[in-house]
């Protein structure tokens, strides 16, 4: 355990995060959180962590970047070293109009004329994705324009080949087996889809890697004895083992199940590190007993579930597969969202994923916030329908 002076220097003066300090000290971020609490060092809130060393922009500076230069919240955040949710909050505080999803998708791009779109799509045989990249919009936007202009859309077979020449078996073997390139990487190089590459691999009799092999990509799977030693004897958690080996922690949990090694539940994991109750890094002064905003009711939860097609936002499991209604998770863990000025962010989660969000809250908040903004422009529920 490092001294209080060293921990204060790294955490308060150097503004290092718990994960960063943990890697430097050879322990996990949870251990650093426990040390901070034991030394009485004030822990930063998520907002303070997201800001880190950045200085809040003035209204004029933010208007120039967001309105005049047409930068996105993600682009502004990256430039000043803040979180994109922080930028979104500043926009609301300053009364700067936030772009709608349609405006954000276009982001300054000019819709081409029917003649220009026909020339690119029909004459030059460009795909919707390539046209989108050229103009600066998504391929879905290009697809919508094709339908609006009544330009005949190519079939899947026509789109897959689109003039591409099938490479030799030797080329595919060299790229896929020797160079360990993925089907997607080869597809990008040849200008076809990943589906086409996998079909060609099958036609050439080249064994296609399983999802597990793709995820490992050269990493050696540990033996049952090694995994038991790390997990049971050394009491390492799946995240710590994953960091050491270089895989996702979900892969570690799958290996534990394959080897028949009993997996600790969350309660056991917390007790094992003496992190229950007030010692837990997720302890927030007993906020689990606080009431929810009255607007967060059954009707509102249904609007969230319907917005995401009633599938888990994290793993994609459907309500039918989960055999119960999906939980509606507060992304920022603020129970009074909808009743205060904080932007409401919600996602539907299956029971397994919702349980995981009780620990490592900062990780889940940042992950879900970024995904919501990137994929849904921050929208997360259907509007009220008036019958």
Both tokens of 151, joined, read 């330009």
Whole-number Å distance between alpha carbons of 2 and 10: 11
Separation of first and last alpha carbons in the chain: 63
| pLDDT at 289 (0 to 100) | 43
pLDDT tens profile 160-218:
445 556 778 888 888 887 677 778 778 777 767 777 888 888 888 887 776 555 555 55
Q: Which of 347, 342, 341 has its CA nearest to residue 368? A: 347
> 185 by DSSP, 3-state: which?
helix
| pLDDT at 281 (0 to 100) | 47
> 132 by DSSP, 3-state: which?
helix
| pLDDT at 146 (0 to 100) | 86
Provide the residue ranges of all domains of the chain, joining segments of one domain with +: 4-43, 99-153, 169-216, 224-278, 287-376
Q: Which of 39, 42, 20, 50 has its CA nearest to residue 370? A: 50
Both tokens of 229, joined, read 């030693």
| pLDDT at 159 (0 to 100) | 54
Instruction: Give the phi and the psi of residue 198 in degrees, each rounded to 5.
Output: -65, -35
Q: What is the pLDDT along the chain (387 residues), one digit of tens a residue?
A: 788 888 888 887 777 777 778 888 888 777 888 888 888 898 876 555 555 445 678 888 888 888 777 777 777 877 776 777 778 888 888 998 877 655 555 555 667 888 888 888 888 878 887 887 777 777 777 888 888 888 887 654 455 445 556 778 888 888 887 677 778 778 777 767 777 888 888 888 887 776 555 555 555 678 888 888 888 888 888 877 877 776 667 778 888 888 899 887 655 554 454 444 545 444 445 444 457 888 888 899 999 999 999 999 999 999 988 888 899 999 988 888 888 877 889 999 998 888 888 877 878 888 898 888 888 888 899 887 654
Q: Is the dihedral of CA 338, 339, 343, 346 positive or negative?
A: negative
Cross-strand bridge partners of residue 348:
328
- b/e for 255-283, b at 16 or more Cβ within 10 A? bbeeeeeeebeeeebbeebebeeeebbbe
| pLDDT at 306 (0 to 100) | 93
Counting DSSP H helices and E strands in the chain, the numbers are 24, 2
Using a cut of 0.85, tell me whether the model's pTM lies above it. no
| pLDDT at 76 (0 to 100) | 80
| pLDDT at 53 (0 to 100) | 47
pLDDT tens profile 293-322:
888 888 999 999 999 999 999 999 999 888
| pLDDT at 311 (0 to 100) | 95
């Amino acid at each position: 355990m490092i001294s209080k002076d060293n921990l204060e220097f790294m955490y308060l003066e150097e503004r290092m995060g718990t994960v960063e300090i943990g890697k430097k000290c050879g322990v996990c971020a949870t251990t650093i959180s426990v040390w901070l609490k034991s030394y009485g060092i004030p822990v930063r809130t998520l907002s303070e962590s997201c800001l880190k060393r950045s200085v809040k922009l003035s209204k004029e500076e933010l208007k120039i970047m967001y309105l005049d230069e047409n930068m996105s919240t993600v682009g502004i955040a990256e430039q000043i070293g803040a979180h994109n949710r922080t930028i979104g909050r500043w926009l609301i505080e300053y009364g700067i109009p936030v772009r709608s999803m349609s405006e954000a998708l276009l982001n300054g791009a000019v819709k081409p004329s029917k003649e220009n779109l026909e020339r690119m799509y029909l004459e030059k045989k460009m795909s919707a994705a390539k046209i989108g990249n050229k103009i600066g919009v998504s391929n879905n936007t290009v697809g919508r324009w094709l339908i609006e202009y009544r330009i005949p859309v190519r079939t899947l077979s026509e789109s897959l080949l689109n003039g591409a020449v099938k490479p030799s078996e030797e080329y595919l073997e060299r790229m896929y087996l020797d160079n360990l390139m993925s089907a997607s990487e080869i597809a990008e190089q040849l200008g076809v889809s990943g589906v086409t590459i996998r079909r060609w691999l099958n036609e050439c009799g080249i064994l296609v890697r399983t999802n597990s092999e793709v995820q490992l990509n050269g990493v050696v799977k540990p033996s049952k004895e090694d995994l038991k030693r790390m997990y049971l004897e050394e009491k390492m958690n799946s995240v710590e083992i994953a960091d050491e080996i270089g895989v996702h922690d979900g892969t570690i949990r799958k290996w534990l199940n394959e080897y028949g090694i009993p997996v600790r539940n969350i309660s056991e994991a917390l007790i094992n590190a003496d992190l229950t109750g007030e010692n837990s890094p997720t302890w927030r002064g007993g906020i689990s007993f606080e009431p929810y905003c009255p607007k967060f009711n059954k009707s509102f939860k249904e609007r969230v579930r319907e917005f995401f097609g009633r599938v888990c936002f994290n793993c994609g499991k459907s309500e039918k597969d989960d055999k119960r209604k999906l939980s509606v998770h507060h992304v920022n863990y603020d129970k009074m969202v909808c009743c205060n000025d904080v932007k409401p962010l919600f996602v539907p989660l299956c029971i397994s994923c919702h349980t995981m969000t009780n620990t490592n809250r900062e990780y889940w908040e940042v992950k879900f916030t970024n995904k919501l903004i990137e994929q849904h422009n921050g929208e997360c529920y259907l509007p009220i329908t008036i019958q």
